[in-house]
Structure 1
Amino acid sequence: MTATAPPPGAATAGAAFFDVDETLLGFKSPASFWGAWSATPEGRRRNGAFEDLLARARAGAPRALVNREYFRLFEGVAVTAFERVAAEWYTAVRAGPHTAVLSAHAALRGHRAAGDLIVLVSGSVGPLLAGPARDFGADLVLCGRQLAEHGILTGEVAVPMIGAAKAAAVRRVIAGRRLDAARCHAYGDHASDLPMLECVGHPVAVGEDPELAARAGAFGWRVLSRATGPLETRPDPVTVPPGGIPRRRAVRAPVRAGR
């Protein structure tokens, strides 16, 4: 079916689920963040390992494997150090000319105006998503959770929020909130987002991933351009609770999946 953002003021019993990297953001946040992290002593020591992992990803290594290996590069790093550099990184990149995927951001604004629950679903982690969640006005963030002991990252994530894990997290929100899945929308840019897209009545493909485009064409899904531009920031204020995932004041508490 063709999916469109509902008009402002329409009644809703659904949610809009958005992949983040290259669906809402015009770049891959982990790779972009490494540009900032590589300037730290810990980053410089592991630049070679990052470049090797990047080459494996480009050669087609499974996304869940790449995700785990990426966060293992931060083993032994203080949580506070990771969070500090993450905040500095996003402050720097958010003002760039290609921060947002314009069509998906416009769709998100339509959903927010209609009163839909705005949910980000990402293989990234909380500290890297705190800024985007604030800018995009997310109500919930479903993401990977880095494991730590005594304030030091172990290098592991509880569950990579990739593929089937995204779908499971979306289903939990739909069931827990008693939403109508047929009225929910989901947006993704890669074939690994298909399990999430198939959870809802209105799947939307972003960009030109061949497998995703083929599925969209076969089933009549809407396809949005992945053209990028400057980020249009939200005018309404947010609060940031402990853990770094923003929420709108007096609206809904955020959720982390992957526990």
Structure 2
Amino acid sequence: MARRQRSAPLDEAVLVAQPPLAAAELAPTAQPAQDRTGAAFFDVDNTMMQGASLYYFARGLAARRYFTTIDLARFAISQARFRLLAAEHAGDMDRAREAALSFVKGWQVEEMQRLSEEIFDELMADRIWSGTRALADAHLASGQRVWLVTAAPVELGRVIATRLGLTGALGTVAEIRDGAYTGRLVGEMMHGPNKANAVEALAAAEGLDLSRCTAYSDSINDVPMLTTVGRAVAVNPDSALRRMARSQGWEVRDFRSGRNAAKVAVPVVLGAGMVAGAVVGGMALSRRRKKAL
């Protein structure tokens, strides 16, 4: 597979020229030159975070009685099929889309924002891979911008990006009217080829040179995004992506020990792609919740 020329290593970034200063004077004020044409794009689930963001989001909702444990088990089973069987045929994705839309319909945007912030702080903050965050921070230190790219709702992606001090997030966008979700998507789910399309659109809008950009992911499903940029890095890769990385000569970073890998396996299977079908059980709960109001 053809590859574009790789971007320069991060440690070769050029700093803004400064007049000679003592180290004590320079340290607090020196800033890297803003690299306007290079950027980094990070998948979230099992790349930036141990496990799946929406799995932990659902756990937080269950603790607040938005879900029951039975509801959680139902969409966990759905996720196991989605993850392990790679069920991405048109019919599966259509049903996934309908489930996702049913889940968010009628929710207030402010409520989603508040819950996302609370649940990130409670359940997700301690599950950020320190190694992956260091990679993101290195891009920021070099003057590049850093975006998360996730199938989760863009609101949740933005909360994670904000908490980590990143530039922003690309995610699945639900239509909003009068401050509430309508049950329709704006565009397509942020998954597979749609991630690559979103990265290309952002690059065009921001004046990025994709050959100087880097993408990070754990999943073979993100090969379209990984091959859109000049430098691809497999982080905590699944077996298919590891093979792909070896064949293409891509860098591989694995921050999992044997024990951590075992711990991560369950939430990844249960939570990955929850937007794409895991919230089936949540629909019934949502209806019960509305009746109770």
Shorter-normalised TM-score: what interval?
0.7 to 0.9
How far off is 1:87 after superposition?
A: 1.9
State which of 11, 20, 37 in structure 1 corresponds to 2:61: 37
Partner of 1:56: 81
Cα distance change, pair 150–50 in 1 and its aligned pair in 2 (3 A): farther
CA–CA separation in structure 2 for the residues paired with 1:221 and 1:3: 13
1:164 and 1:181, CA in 2 relative to 1: closer, same or farther beyond 3 A?
Answer: same
- Sort the Cα spacing of 1:47 and 1:140 in 2 relative to 1 into closer, same or farther, 3 A: closer
Matched, 1:26 2:55: no
Render the CA deviation track for 1:12-56: whole Å, top value 9, x for unaligned.
431111111211112211111001112345423844652442343
Between Structure 1 and Structure 2, the one with more strand by share is 1
Match for 1:86: what amino acid? S
1:86 equivalenced with 2:116 (yes/no): yes
Match of 1:236 in 2: none
What code does the residue aligned with 1:144 have?
T
Asked if 2 retains the 8 angstrom alpha-carbon contact of 1:67 and 1:160, the reply is no
Alpha carbons of structure 1 residues 102 and 85: separation in structure 2 relative to 1, 3 Å: same
Q: Distance in 2 between matches of 1:113 and 1:48?
A: 42
Aligned to 1:10: 14
Counterpart of 1:161?
A: 190
Aligned counterparts of 1:214 and 1:3: Cα–Cα separation in 2: 23
Q: Which residue of 1 aligns with 2:129?
A: 101
Contact 1:15-1:185 at 8 Å conserved across structures = yes
TM-score (norm 1): 0.76
What letter matches 2:105 in structure 1? E
Q: Matched residues in 2 for 1:38 and 1:179: separation?
A: 41
Report the equivalent of 1:182. Answer: 211
Over 3 Å counting, the alpha-carbon distance change for 1:94 and 1:166 in structure 2 is: same
Give unmatched runs, 5+ long, in structure 2: 16-34, 261-293
Change (3 A) 1:152 1:50: farther
Q: Deviations over 1:190-217 (max 9, x none)?
A: 0111100101111101113122111110
Residues 33 and 8 of structure 1, relative CA distance in 2, 3 Å threshold: farther
Deviation at 1:157, TM superposition (A): 2.9
Describe how 1:86-235 pairs up with structure 2 within 5 A.
86-96=116-126, 99-158=127-186, 159-227=188-256
Match of 2:103 among 53, 59, 73: 73
Distance in 2 separating the partners of 1:183 and 1:29: 28
2:8, 2:212 within 8 Å by CA — same for their partners in 1? no
CA distance in 2, matches of 1:191, 1:59: 12
Distance 1:120 1:162 in 2: 13
Q: Deviations over 1:163-200 (max 9, x none)?
A: 11110111112222222222111111101111001011
* 1:55–1:72 CA distance, 2 compared to 1 (3 A): farther
d(CA) in 1 for partners of 2:116 and 2:144?
29
Aligned-pair RMSD on alpha carbons? 2.8
Identity %: 29
CA distance in structure 1 between the partners assigned to 2:135 and 2:235 by the alignment: 11
Count of residues paired in the alignment:
227
Provide the rounded CA distance (Å) in 1 between the counterparts of 2:96 and 2:55: 11
